[in-house]
Structure 1
């Protein structure tokens, strides 16, 4: 027979009794946070570009205008200059200077008053390429010799001109490099002529005189103080281009 247990009844306190037995927690009312008010002494700028407001905020946002963007999200670059012009390479000027060297009896010194190194670098690269086709790797030798020769011409010219000389080193590099054009042509012709023949030596002498005459005239016409020492300047230029002709011949 099962044993019975006497379980006391569970009495839940009512709401009224609970409120009397449990102490009430005081409720603190929070004051609302005041909205942000800008300081009138500090300048305020609005960066809402897409907004169409009026007043000082919209006028200040107009300074942060974005470029014109089409429907696909790509910007218009029609007004941008070409890349060569941004790099300072003027192809028309290089072509005009190069063609002016082709006439040994008539040059335009005003074309070479604005010096650059883009044209000389292209001519020296072409000279090294023709030498490479002939089986000679002379790129480093050509650049090194041109640097030393330009310094040599710069020192000789300024010592002869004295205080009146105004030849700068940058312009000297440009003139010596552009006047290498006849030797570049000689290097190209040497690929089709027998090496060590009389014809090759005769052409080398003609092209060396061609480069010497052009370089001497441009140096005297562009830089001041070289008229009285034209012969000595021509001799210095002849030494330079004769050295490069020996590099081509041998």
Structure 2
């Protein structure tokens, strides 16, 4: 056999632990750095939990835009005032209806619907105690009666009429107070008969007198049509009283 010679390049072994001491032809190995390190070249921000906790506990927790400090709840308005519900105003308007011959119309200049809603809910509650579930009927009649009185008055007054639907609904609602009293008394009085009809007529006339006086006092051009306005109010409260009787 012929002896073949193979050329083997010389191999230099690194004898020291220092990677810088090597031959000129040896490539230095790069030591991999763990990710997410401060010196790894990745632009991550470091977050110190201890410093954040200390700054939060020592400073203000919340400062809204334009407030410049912590919120002071002592300066906030009551919840009922923010919702537009004023109990003193509602009570003064209810008391003004108690005397149908001298109704104080000045307290009804600022119309609201919070008082009428409370009276309607009380009326529904008394009807429920009497065994009559009439929530939908009462709500529908409230809407129809307010629109009916609004249309009747503006047709009678013509261009001089200044009754808006909001004021009309407020007046009709507050003058429902006598009918609400009648529905409460009907729980203890005998149903039907001449006696029941006579009591119902008293409360209907009470509500009619109060609502007619308020509408004439709060609007212009209604004094000359007082009789027709009273007739429309009489029809409205008669319907509600029929719910109580029957």
TM-score range, shorter chain: 0.7 to 0.9
Does the C-alpha gap of structure 1 residues 11 and 198 become closer, same or farther in structure 2, counting only changes over 3 Å? closer
1:65 corresponds in structure 2 to 68
Does the C-alpha gap of structure 1 residues 94 and 22 become closer, same or farther in structure 2, counting only changes over 3 Å? same
Match of 2:188 among 180, 185, 192: 192
Quote the RMSD (CA, aligned, Å): 2.8
C-alpha distance in structure 1 between counterparts of 2:141 and 2:66, whole Å? 54
Structure 2 unaligned residues grouped into runs of 5+: 1-10, 29-55, 58-64
Partner of 1:228, secondary structure, is helix
The question of whether the paired residues in 1 share the 8 Å contact of 2:14 and 2:22 is answered with no
Shift of 1:223: 1.2
C-alpha distance in structure 2 between counterparts of 1:63 and 1:190, whole Å? 57
C-alpha distance in structure 1 between counterparts of 2:217 and 2:78, whole Å? 33
* 1:224 aligned onto 2:220: yes
2:200 corresponds in structure 1 to 204
Q: TM-score if structure 2 supplies the norm length?
A: 0.75
* 1:22 aligned onto 2:40: no
Count of aligned positions:
202
C-alpha distance in structure 2 between counterparts of 1:13 and 1:200, whole Å? 120
* 1:170 aligned onto 2:166: yes
C-alpha distance in structure 2 between counterparts of 1:64 and 1:112, whole Å? 37
Partner of 1:171, secondary structure, is helix
Match of 2:242 among 240, 243, 246: 246
Shift of 1:200: 1.2
Match of 2:209 among 207, 213, 218: 213
C-alpha distance in structure 2 between counterparts of 1:199 and 1:217, whole Å? 28
Greater displacement, 132-141 / 150-159: 132-141
Does the C-alpha gap of structure 1 residues 11 and 219 become closer, same or farther in structure 2, counting only changes over 3 Å? closer
